[in-house]
Amino acid sequence: MKEYLPGVRINNGFKLNTNENIYNCSTNLYFLINIIKNHFDRIKYYPDSENFFLKKIISKKFNIKNKNLFICNGSDEGLFFIFLLLKKKILKIYNFTYPFYKVYCDFNKILYKKIKIKKKLLFSNIIFPNPNSPTGNIFLFKKNNKLINNKFIIIDEAYSDFYQNNYIKFINKKNNLIVIKTFSKYYSIANLRVGFIISNEFIINKLNKIKHCFNSYTVNSISSYLSIECIKDFNYYYFISQKINFLKIIFKNTILKNFIILKSFCNFLLIKINIDFFFFFKKKKIFFRIFYLKNEIFIRLTIPNFKILKLIYFFLKKWN
């Protein structure tokens, strides 16, 4: 069994290899932490297994009902629960995408078929990120595409907030569309491990049954309340996303203008490089994630803040 290998953990240097949002979370969280101190005695109790207040604000944000919502301890846990629903399915997975999907298939002994990446969504019983990781491209529903009963389409929207779009509106009781989202990337709280799934009531009920066979209390109260504050601070996060998009343009059009870079709708870029580029920056304590595609080498670079951007530009002139 092949396990998933996360990006190398960095204690000394600049960590641009795991796609965390380089900017801090909302300052609302600082005020909430002070409030939590006044209710310290509540920590001895188990959290609300239904995460009622978090569900309430997510439901309002996406104009859905609580019965269509499942809260999980990070989107990866949610993915694991979904894969437990798919044991008798043959799943389609894009050939260059988030590697955890294949790991979950192997672990759960689910058959899967690799397919080529296409811009238009044409398949059923498929799982894919939208935008895709590590390429950053997006997939589109065809206008005449019908979601087939008893066929699953699972969309992992870990990065969708960066381009302000989602496919939640397509969910209804007649199809098996499942959308997975997370607070880790856009909201800058990866350490808290909060994710959620939106689907029809039947699928959500199935996921709740799996959860209660596994662990009824997957998301703690502190993580839940901090996530609520993130959703409330819309203006801050919109400003940060625009800042990231601006820095992405600077990277593509100036600093890395001589490199082949894939179009990205996320907070990262996939860049074709020579292997010495990767090791040169590693020596400078700037860490990227390396990928191999069709015998070519790419790095995935999380969009940094302006200070790190200038540092990369400085070292790049030395590398050249």
Q: Is residue 3 part of a domain?
A: no
The domain boundary residue, chosen from 232, 267, 300: 232
For residues 144 and 156, membership in a common domain is answered with: yes
Q: Please give the structure tokens belonging to residue 48.
A: 């609300």
In Å, the largest CA–CA distance within the chain is 58
d(CA 133, CA 155): 12
The domain boundary residue, chosen from 209, 232, 255: 232
Q: Is residue 7 part of a domain?
A: no
Q: Is residue 102 part of a domain?
A: yes
Instruction: State the pTM of this model.
Output: 0.92
Indicate which CATH number applies to the domain containing 121. Answer: 3.40.640.10
- The arithmetic mean of pLDDT across residues 289-315, rounded, is 91
For residues 269 and 200, membership in a common domain is answered with: no
User: For 10-27, how does the pLDDT look when each residue is reduced to its tens digit (9 = 90+)?
Assistant: 667 788 888 899 999 988
Q: CA 121: distance to chain centroid?
A: 19
d(CA 51, CA 47): 8
d(CA 126, CA 97): 12
For residues 67 and 199, membership in a common domain is answered with: yes
For residues 125 and 105, membership in a common domain is answered with: yes
- The arithmetic mean of pLDDT across residues 142-149, rounded, is 54
d(CA 305, CA 302): 10
User: For 155-213, how does the pLDDT look when each residue is reduced to its tens digit (9 = 90+)?
Assistant: 999 999 998 888 898 887 777 899 999 999 999 999 999 999 999 999 999 999 999 99
In angstroms, what CA-CA distances link 289 with 19, 278, 292? Answer: 9, 9, 10
Q: Is residue 199 part of a domain?
A: yes
User: For 224-272, how does the pLDDT look when each residue is reduced to its tens digit (9 = 90+)?
Assistant: 989 999 999 999 999 999 999 999 999 888 888 889 999 999 999 999 9
**Number of domains the chain contains:** 2
For residues 35 and 18, membership in a common domain is answered with: no
Residue 205's SS3 state is: helix
User: For 91-141, how does the pLDDT look when each residue is reduced to its tens digit (9 = 90+)?
Assistant: 999 888 998 999 999 999 999 998 887 655 656 788 999 999 999 998 876
Q: What was the pLDDT predicted at 144?
A: 44
Tell me which residue range forms the domain holding 98.
28-232
User: For 31-78, how does the pLDDT look when each residue is reduced to its tens digit (9 = 90+)?
Assistant: 777 777 776 777 889 999 999 999 999 999 999 999 999 999 999 999
